[in-house]
Amino acid sequence: MITFHNPLHQGHAPVHEFFRGERVPCFEKPARVDYVKEALRARGHTMAAPDVDCSAVLEQVHAPRYLAFLQTAWQQWLALDPANAAVQPFPSVWPVRTLRSDVEPDNFVARLGLYSMDNGTPMAAGTWAAAKAGADAAASAAARVAQGTRAAFCCTRPPGHHAGPDFMGGYCFLNNAAVAAQTLRNQGAQRVAVLDVDYHHGNGTQSIFYDRSDVLFISIHGDPRTEYPFYLGHADETGEGVGGGFNLNLPLPAGTSAATWFEALEKACARIAEHRADGLVISLGLDAFEGDPISRFALASSDFTRLGERLARLGLPTVFVLEGGYAAAELGTNAVNVLDGFEQ
Ligand code: SP5
Ligand code: ZN
């Protein structure tokens, strides 16, 4: 399968994140994509650099003030103190209920809170460049599919599905899957479906398309009553306005077996067929894997082949976008199993 990789992903290399009050090494690390690229090469997939500038599409899915902030965030951080080059900024205050989110404080860390949903999304010097090149790779994959190629894969990090219209979160900065879906729409698809199979609910993608009927969003994920991102992804979220009925959440309890997971996949596939989608984006998180260190589903590596086979039977032009998956050494096998299952 033609794969668009992100040539700048290694510039996004924050060192630590917070977990239970402790600083721990980042789960979302450059080696993840290196393992996927290694498996792609070993199994004969074609690799290409991004050939589309997604800037105009980014403005269709993200707010201008968020994009402006993100683009220069690291320089703003260094302007406070050159020694900050060796330190990761973390937000400390968030504009929750009753606080104002229409003001943009002069204080950088306060602005970081305005544009973040959590303190679990560390930035580094090359974060903007990496996120932008990744979104370019997603747009490139979608453009290739819009031009008639059956399927394409965007192999990138940082991931994207937690990034909402105007915020980062969950290791995500720019919503690559939303960029892919919007690119398909811009280039002729009438009805797109985004199916998110990452262990975590794709809250960002849901929010971006929540009031739209042209992009159906479906997610199979750990029940947010116990799993991140907690505050979205519940079964009663079905869309709003003309988007009513065009959002389907299929939360499953932590510990769910592969058999039950595939039952949810059947529901998702039935809804995609009912939508008469003419383009499909898969938010391809591999953290439903039984060996994932931060997730609690039980898919085996062979189940990812089965996932690819089932998605192929939808018969749709398909863009795969890499999301999460933290069992780094198995990530290549699991991701490429989906692609090979799709193509066999
Ligand atoms: C793209 C993606 O998969 N983002 C996931 C973000 C999850 N961030 C919260 C991590 C919480 C880790 N909980 C670990 C429990 C380990 N026992
Ligand atoms: Zn995830």
Read off the pLDDT of residues 146-180 as tens digits, 9 standing for 90 and up. 999 999 999 999 999 999 999 999 999 999 999 99
Does pTM surpass 0.95? yes
Ligand 2 center to 202 CA (angstroms): 8
Which tokens in the block code for residue 28?
Answer: 């979302």
The pLDDT value given to residue 151: 98
The pLDDT value given to residue 36: 98
The pLDDT value given to residue 52: 98
Ligand 1 center to 323 CA (angstroms): 12
Pocket around ligand 1: residues whose beta carbon is below 6 Å from it?
Answer: 19, 120, 159, 162, 170-172, 198, 200, 228, 285, 287, 294, 323-324
Q: Dihedral of CA 308/194/180/330: which sign?
A: negative
Instruction: List the chain domain ranges.
Output: 2-64+126-343
Which tokens in the block code for residue 272?
Answer: 């995609």
DSSP lists the bridge partners of residue 40 as none
Q: What is the pLDDT of residues 294-305, one digit of tens each?
A: 999 999 999 999
- 70 — pLDDT class (breaks 50, 70, 90): very high
Q: What is the mean pLDDT of residues 28-54?
A: 98
Which tokens in the block code for residue 331?
Answer: 């990530």
Q: What is the mean pLDDT of residues 177-186?
A: 99
The pLDDT value given to residue 343: 98
Q: What is the pLDDT of residues 282-294, one digit of tens each?
A: 999 999 999 999 9
CA-wise closest residue to 24 among 14, 10, 32, 33: 14
Cα 257 from Cα 103, distance rounded (Å): 46
Burial class of 75 by CB neighbour count within 10 A (0 to 12, 13 to 18, 19+): exposed
Q: At what angle do helices 301-312 and 328-343 cross, to 10 degrees?
A: 30
Which tokens in the block code for residue 326?
Answer: 């933290």
* DSSP structural state of residue 287: T
Q: What is the pLDDT of residues 209-230, one digit of tens each?
A: 999 999 999 999 999 999 999 9
Cα 18 from Cα 16, distance rounded (Å): 7
Which tokens in the block code for residue 280?
Answer: 């499909």
The class level of CATH for 2-64+126-343 reads alpha beta
Q: What is the mean pLDDT of residues 183-195?
A: 98
Contact 284, 257 (CB under 8 A): no
Contact 220, 233 (CB under 8 A): no
Q: Report percent pLDDT > 90 for the chain.
A: 99
The pLDDT value given to residue 146: 98
Of ligand 1's atoms, which has the minimum distance to the CA of residue 324? Answer: 3
Cα 285 from Cα 280, distance rounded (Å): 15
Ligand number nearest CA of 287 is 2
